[in-house]
């Protein structure tokens, strides 16, 4: 095992995610859900700034579910992840793609020259590493001037009401306990959470939305149009992970600015916070 501090990853978290992607390899993810979630992340990404020969990297690729939609649009896509189990799933899911490469590395050890890549994205990953700011700087180093970087980090509920933040605080206590359970017990508990909490709240949100009565702060309303498979995956993702950090919009902007990005733009819809920044020129 590589030194955690030296390589900016938590070995237990990497193992947990490898187990998650083996359990939910995304082969049962519907094309409709995959496309809708992809657009919710990438709708602010400046595709028109890339050429068909652009080369970029998916940092923390996991199962490769987003890479499957990015790779056909670019010249070459590198997939980087510290988990051998995750990369095995990604290789299987992307077996027909000819313009991809796989790298079992942490974000601090990305095997690319400085200022060499045309774009990068990291979705739902860097809030699970010990030093998020340092990770963003590691990605900035390998991007050429003018290259876009798409980033999604868990938000700190900075625009949510007080009762919502209190509810999250309570749920986070359970996450800290559940994430440390033996794997088979943790999986069972997370399945129960998906069935008894995610699914009912999401379907009630769907009903209220169709009636034009959905409150803006309704918990788990993001899943109202998603199938149950997505809820099962994300329940394990949310409650099965030992290391989780959350950031305000301002904190994310500050980290991107300090890493050398400019023209930072945030998505105005869920998932929060999704941002894109452009690497400054030399």
pLDDT tens digits for range 51-70: 999 999 999 999 999 999 99
What's the angle, vertex CA 216, arms to CA 213 and CA 217, rounded to 5?
A: 120
- pLDDT above 90 as % of the chain: 94
Residue 15 and residue 36: Cα distance in Å, rounded? 28
Region 35-45: mean pLDDT is 97
CB 237 within 8 A of CB 186: no
pLDDT over 50 (residue 121): yes
Q: What is the pTM of this model?
A: 0.94
**pLDDT score recorded for residue 26:** 97
Give the Å distances, CA to CA, from 83 to 21, 56, 174.
10, 20, 25
**pLDDT score recorded for residue 122:** 98
pLDDT over 80 (residue 4): no
> For 83, how many CA atoms within 13 A lie in the half-sphere containing its CB?
27
**pLDDT score recorded for residue 5:** 38
Residue 120 and residue 147: Cα distance in Å, rounded? 8
pLDDT tens for each residue of 200-252: 999 999 999 999 999 989 999 999 999 999 999 999 999 999 999 999 999 99
**pLDDT score recorded for residue 282:** 60
Question: 3.40.50.150, 3.40.50.11540, 3.40.50.2300, 1.10.8.60: which CATH number matches 4-155+246-279?
Answer: 3.40.50.150
DSSP readout, 164-179? HHHHHHHHHHHHHHHT
Mean pLDDT, the chain, integer:
95
Token output for 48: 């028109």
Region 73-86: mean pLDDT is 97
**pLDDT score recorded for residue 3:** 43
Residue 150: helix, strand or coil by DSSP? strand
Name the pLDDT band for 1 (thresholds 50, 70, 90). Answer: very low
pLDDT tens for each residue of 254-263: 999 999 999 9
Choice between 2 and 116, residue whose per-residue pLDDT is larger? 116
**pLDDT score recorded for residue 7:** 79
Residue 191 and residue 240: Cα distance in Å, rounded? 11
């Amino acid at each position: 095992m590589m030194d955690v501090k030296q390589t900016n990853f938590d070995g237990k978290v990497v193992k947990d995610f490898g187990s998650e992607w083996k359990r939910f390899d995304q082969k049962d993810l519907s094309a409709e859900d995959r496309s809708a979630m992809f657009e919710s992340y990438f709708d602010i990404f400046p595709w028109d700034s890339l050429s068909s020969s652009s080369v970029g990297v998916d940092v923390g690729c996991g199962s490769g579910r987003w890479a499957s939609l990015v790779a056909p649009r670019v010249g070459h896509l590198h997939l980087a992840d510290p988990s051998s189990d995750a990369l095995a799933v990604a290789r299987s899911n992307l077996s027909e793609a000819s313009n991809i490469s796989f790298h079992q590395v942490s974000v601090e050890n990305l095997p690319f020259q400085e200022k060499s890549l045309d774009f990068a994205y990291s979705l739902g990953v860097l809030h699970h590493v010990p030093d998020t700011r340092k990770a963003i700087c590691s990605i900035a180093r390998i991007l050429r001037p003018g290259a876009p970087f798409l980033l999604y980090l868990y938000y700190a509920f900075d625009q949510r009401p007080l009762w919502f933040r209190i509810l999250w605080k309570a749920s986070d206590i359970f996450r800290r306990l559940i994430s440390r359970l033996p794997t088979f017990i943790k999986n069972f508990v997370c399945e129960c959470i998906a069935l008894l909490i995610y699914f009912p709240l999401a379907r009630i949100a769907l009903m209220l939305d169709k009636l034009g009565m959905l409150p803006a702060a309704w918990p788990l309303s993001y899943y109202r149009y998603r199938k149950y498979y997505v809820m099962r995956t994300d329940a394990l993702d949310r409650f099965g992970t030992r290391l989780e950090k959350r950031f305000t919009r301002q904190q994310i902007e500050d980290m991107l600015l300090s890493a050398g990005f400019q023209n930072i733009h945030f998505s105005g819809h869920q998932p929060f916070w999704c941002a894109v920044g452009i690497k400054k020129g030399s």
